[in-house]
Amino acid sequence: MNNDDARLIRSSSVMGLGTIISRITGLVRNLLLVAVLGTGILGDAYNVANTTPNILYNLLIGGALSAVFVPQIVKSFRDADGGSAYVSRLVSLLASALLIITVLAMVIAPLFISIYAPTFTGRSRDVTIAFALYCLPQILFYGLFGVLGQVANAKERFGPMMWAPIANNLVVIALFTYFLSVTDEISLQTITDSQIRLLGIGTTLGIALQALILLPTIKSSGLRLRFRVDWRGVGLDKALKLASWMFVFVLISQLGFLATVNIATRAAVAADTAGVAYGVGYTPYSNAYLILILPHSIITVSVMTALLPKLANLVIDKKLNEVTNELTNAIKVVGVFIVPAAMIFLTFGPLIARNLYFGISADDADYVGYTLAGFAIGLIPVSINLILLRGLNAFENLKSQVFGNLIMNLISIVLSVLAAIYVEPKWVVVAMAIIFTVHYFIGTGISFYLISKHKVNLPIPAIVLHYLRLLAVFAFSIIPLFILRDSIPGNNLVQLIVVLFVSCFIYLLLGFLFKIKEIKSAIRILVKAIR
């Protein structure tokens, strides 16, 4: 690992820490949510209403912000005014579009509730619609957060976007804490209009604060934002054209997601009919996926957020050799951390699930763990693929990504349908997790091919060898613990701590002894951080 690798780790460490704290405060928030609204229909009504604006934002705008606008924003910084005019036009255009979308969404809120919660009728439907009317303005604030955050990232001020969600979580935590202190137990039938209004507006205020807290960062970066309507002839048309391709990309992914939900829920019904007592269906699938994606969110996303502005500048300057080196370094750096996570998930999935989901039965937790193990190795291609996609984004290559994503999802859907037909219902979800892994290995292969078309010649054999070495080293670290797992003393939590500490210690030691430079550099950085 060279100085660029160390820079990547240092640049992403602040973001990674922000992500960790955000996840912790988010967990506290969810616990309080359950305490206030329960896990029944009232809780579902709030969650459906609060999730809908996020889904709409991601489908319409969210994917485009990081994929499309960062390279465009980076280019604008070379303008005579340092990008202030371009960024002002971009923010003004997106804010205006999102305001119109928000108003329309509020007008047709009942339609959205019919789509996302078709079984809700009567009181449950009325309460959900009421929550939605207060939550749908979040679309505007999600958009402002997204675009302001990407501007900050383009200025290489990465921390604020990762830390801002903590403010949102703290607002909602304070809201639910206050609600618990002044309100008796409520239900779907007893909740009042004023209580719905308090919870809905309070939740939306959290998202608003999350967005507005970024304004001081933008101001301190030297950009001067003002509302502008002179949108024609300034280059936004190219960005919007690229954004349309990203919309298609996200839409294809959403259709693949819809197929996954349908097959998983059908498997749940079939398993229940067959007398399977533990949870089978989309819930264990989604919960296992949330565990899987945590190291990806902390490590890979942080690394690529730090790297994308530099990649955009290198592409503009046509320094393709440096683009190759940066992507190669990023892939190798991420592997140092992602490979251990994947191996731990593979070998100790049930133990992890038992610790995280201690409130459910052991059988239910174990099934989440088996699903996590099915996902585990897929963590590696998921992370590599994101790096390659961000590289393609720097080249503003979205059209080919759409076709690659279409191939991935078609293969995944076909394999999932075959699993639903030929696999025993209780194992369909685990099979789908394995299909997810296959899906991303195919996608990563496609991404390697696509980026090579831009004369970025990544050393694929060296990358594969690097990951095989990391896998071999961590296998030596974890397999003895797996074999002796029944002999590890203590309860589930103690056993998990022992597994994590011992396996990672041996991994770092072996990496140092075998002179794997990426691991040696990681050790040096960790030691320096501790000091």
pLDDT digits (tens, 9 = 90+) for 409-426: 888 889 988 988 888 888
The contacts of residue 521 (CB under 8 Å, 6+ apart) are 1, 5, 6, 9
Region 315-321: mean pLDDT is: 82
Same domain, 289 and 168: no
Mean pLDDT of the chain: 80
pLDDT value for 373: 94
Is 332 contained in some domain? yes
Same domain, 131 and 249: no
Residue type, 484: L
**Which one is predicted more confidently, 369 or 234?**
369
Integer-rounded Cα radius of gyration of the chain: 24
Last residue of one domain, picked from the residues 195, 214, 234: 234
Kindly indicate the confidence band of residue 530, based on its pLDDT and cuts at 50, 70 and 90: very low
- DSSP H helices, 58-83, are 63-64, 70-76
**Which one is predicted more confidently, 237 or 202?**
202
Q: Is the predicted pLDDT of residue 71 greater than 80, yes or no?
A: no
Kindly indicate the confidence band of residue 341, based on its pLDDT and cuts at 50, 70 and 90: very high
CA 152/CA 158 separation, integer angstroms: 7
Q: Is the predicted pLDDT of residue 232 greater than 80, yes or no?
A: no
CB count within 10 Å of CB 286 equals 15
Is 1 contained in some domain? no
The label of the residue with tokens 């954004």 reads 243
Same domain, 141 and 217: yes
Tens-place pLDDT, residues 243-295: 666 677 777 776 777 777 777 767 777 776 777 766 666 667 877 887 888 88
CA 324/CA 459 separation, integer angstroms: 9
Tens-place pLDDT, residues 149-195: 878 877 777 677 778 889 999 999 999 899 888 887 788 888 889 99
Region 118-123: mean pLDDT is: 75
Is 331 contained in some domain? yes
Same domain, 276 and 396: yes
Is 515 contained in some domain? no
pLDDT value for 461: 94
Exposed/middle/buried for residue 283 (C-beta within 10 Å: 0-12, 13-18, 19+): middle
Last residue of one domain, picked from the residues 234, 265, 289: 234
Same domain, 218 and 299: no
Nearest one of 35, 82, 12 to 295, comparing CA atoms = 12
Q: What is the DSSP letter of 253?
A: H
Same domain, 213 and 322: no
Same domain, 224 and 341: no
The contacts of residue 261 (CB under 8 Å, 6+ apart) are 282
Same domain, 281 and 393: yes
Tens-place pLDDT, residues 456-491: 889 999 999 999 999 999 999 998 888 888 888 888
**Which one is predicted more confidently, 8 or 339?**
339
Same domain, 126 and 44: yes
Which tokens is 462 given?
């060296």
Q: Is the dihedral of CA 225, 229, 233, 239 positive or negative?
A: positive
Question: In this prediction, what percent of the chain has a pLDDT beyond 90?
Answer: 22
Residue 455 dihedral angles phi and psi, to the nearest 5°: 65, 30
Count the domains in the chain: 2
Q: What domain range includes position 166?
A: 13-234
272 membership: H or E segment, kind and range: helix 236-273
pLDDT value for 521: 66
CA 97/CA 88 separation, integer angstroms: 14
Is 491 contained in some domain? no
Which tokens is 56 given?
């709409």
pLDDT value for 112: 79
pLDDT value for 129: 92
Q: What is the DSSP letter of 516?
A: -
pLDDT value for 377: 94
Which tokens is 520 given?
């040696």
Is 88 contained in some domain? yes
CA 71/CA 312 separation, integer angstroms: 5
CB count within 10 Å of CB 379 equals 24
Same domain, 222 and 360: no
Same domain, 330 and 387: yes
CA 351/CA 1 separation, integer angstroms: 33
Is 147 contained in some domain? yes
Residues 73 and 151: beta-carbon distance below 8 Å: yes
Secondary structure, 3-state, 435-470: HHHHHHHHHHHHHHHHHHCCCCCCCHHHHHHHHHHH
Is 18 contained in some domain? yes
pLDDT value for 467: 94
Q: Is the dihedral of CA 468, 472, 474, 480 positive or negative?
A: positive
Residues 476 and 339: beta-carbon distance below 8 Å: no
- Coil, strand or helix at 484: coil
Same domain, 412 and 433: yes
pLDDT value for 163: 81
**Which one is predicted more confidently, 138 or 358?**
138
CA 228/CA 93 separation, integer angstroms: 8
Last residue of one domain, picked from the residues 194, 213, 234: 234
